[in-house]
Amino acid sequence: MRKIIVTEFLSLDGVMENPMWTFPYWNDEIAQFKAEETTANDVLLLGRVTYEGFAEAWPQRTDEASGGKYFNGVRKYVVSNTLDKAEWNNSQIIRGDILQEITKLKQQDGENLVVHGSGTLARWLMQHDLVDTYRLLVYPVVLGEGKRLFDEGVSAKLQLVDARTFSSGVTALVYEPVRE
Amino acid sequence: MRKLIVGNFVTVDGYYEAKDKTFDAFFTYYHKDYQGDQNFDYYNTELLRASDTLILSGRTSFLGNKSYWTSVPDDPNATPIRREFAQLIQRVDKIVVSDKIEPTDLAPWDTTRIVRVADAVEEIGKLKQGPGRDILILMGRILWNHLLPHGLIDELHLTTFPIIAGDGIPLFDGRPPVSLKLKHTRSWQGSGNLLACYVVTLQVE
């Protein structure tokens, strides 16, 4: 049974959209935190917007250090009813009965299903109580606008399983929802 | 120059309070292992011990605080830390920023000084220039969001509670023109809270 890991860059006011504002804070500690999410047998589960951004950016970066080798190589599922084709290496579109498709993926043996960014998909997964772990990097910026990760209407009990502080002012919070 | 420190909690999804203006609704979604977690009380008390002025925001909040904290000494179920907080809040110099509050609302917290909203920036600016220890705002988002663009807040101490509220009033109003530097964080064994203390600097354009 695979776990669904949602990993996000968040501003202090909860915005996840187009996280260009994270660049000045990047350091080895963040790189290490992100590297923990990129094990060889993981599968990526992405929304269309994040997929398209990744599919444009990553093929130009093929070295190991940048993560390019991993992102270009890893198996990717893009959840979209509008996308016609997914041409990035090792990509496949999930459409139609998305709940059934994702449940099938989740039941497979293997490592995690990792969701990077993909706000709409992440919120959909939350609404269906499918998220097993949140890995949140919280940046010391207040943006005031932009799409937020957590949409109104979804509540969850969480357990804090890890908290780390990085020298660039970023905090890492790892939560697991509690199902009773 | 005295420091003005804000102590506030926030949910993982960035909410200050529920839409009905209470905090209670948040705790419907609170892990049972964290029930009775007193670390936030301990931290607020730590902040209040280091301060000699507490600024409260709004008549409703003032009256709610007054009513609750003056009842704690007589409440046999009150925890020791809340008893200590009740003593401290009784003694500390208090300011209430409100246009609705009247002097008759203050008793028995008679030492409280009333500042009207239009005067808050100037009065708090003056207060910071004077002698004394830290000045504290606990919760009070409307007030501190109002003060942020005036460069009057020195530190934001935000404790993230392990709750996705799903709905509520956001902690921040828009994008304040400030930059934040993480000073330190703290977590507690057996608690789902994470405290992050940020130093606030006004960004002058």
pLDDT in tens, B107-144: 999 889 999 999 999 999 999 999 999 999 999 999 99
> Mean pLDDT in chain B?
95
B1-19: average pLDDT: 95
In chain A, which residues have their Cβ closer than 8 Å to the Cβ of B179? Answer: 140-141
What length is written for chain A?
180
- For B166, the closest of A143, A145, A154 (CB atoms) is A154
CA distance A136 to A171: 8
What are the backbone angles phi and psi of residue B135, rounded to the nearest 5°?
-110, 140
Picking from B31, B43, B41, B44, the residue whose alpha carbon sits closest to that of residue B162 is B31
Q: Name the strand (E) or helix (H) holding B65.
A: helix B59-71
B176-199: average pLDDT: 95
Proportion of chain B in helix, strand, coil states, percent, rounded to 5:
35, 30, 35
Residue B201 touches partner A, C-beta closer than 8 Å:
no
- For A159, the closest of B31, B158, B179 (CB atoms) is B31
In chain B, which residues have their Cβ closer than 8 Å to the Cβ of A6? Answer: none
| Tokens matching residue B29 | 């979604």
CA torsion angle B13 B15 B21 B25 (round to 10): 30
Residue B184 touches partner A, C-beta closer than 8 Å:
yes
Q: Which of B21-25, B96-100, B193-197 has the lowest mean pLDDT?
A: B21-25
Confidence at residue B110, expressed as pLDDT on a 0 to 100 scale: 85
Confidence at residue A67, expressed as pLDDT on a 0 to 100 scale: 84
Instruction: Report CB contact under 8 Å: A160, B196.
Output: no
B175-180: average pLDDT: 95
Is the pLDDT at B205 greater than 70? The verdict is no
CA distance B68 to B64: 6
Residue B151 touches partner A, C-beta closer than 8 Å:
no
What is the number of CB-based contacts under 8 A between chain A and chain B? Answer: 105
CA distance B26 to B28: 6
CA torsion angle B7 B9 B10 B15 (round to 10): -90
Is the pLDDT at B29 greater than 90? The verdict is no
CA distance B141 to B147: 10
Question: If you write DSSP's letter for every residue of A31-77 in order, what string do you get?
Answer: HHHHHTT--TT-EEEEEHHHHHHHHHHGGG---TTTTHHHHHHSEEE
pLDDT tens for chain A, 180 residues: list them. 899 999 999 999 999 999 999 999 999 999 999 999 987 778 999 999 999 999 999 999 888 777 889 999 999 999 999 999 999 999 999 999 999 999 999 998 888 999 999 999 999 999 999 999 999 999 999 999 999 999 777 888 899 999 999 999 999 999 999 987
- ipTM, 2 decimals? 0.78
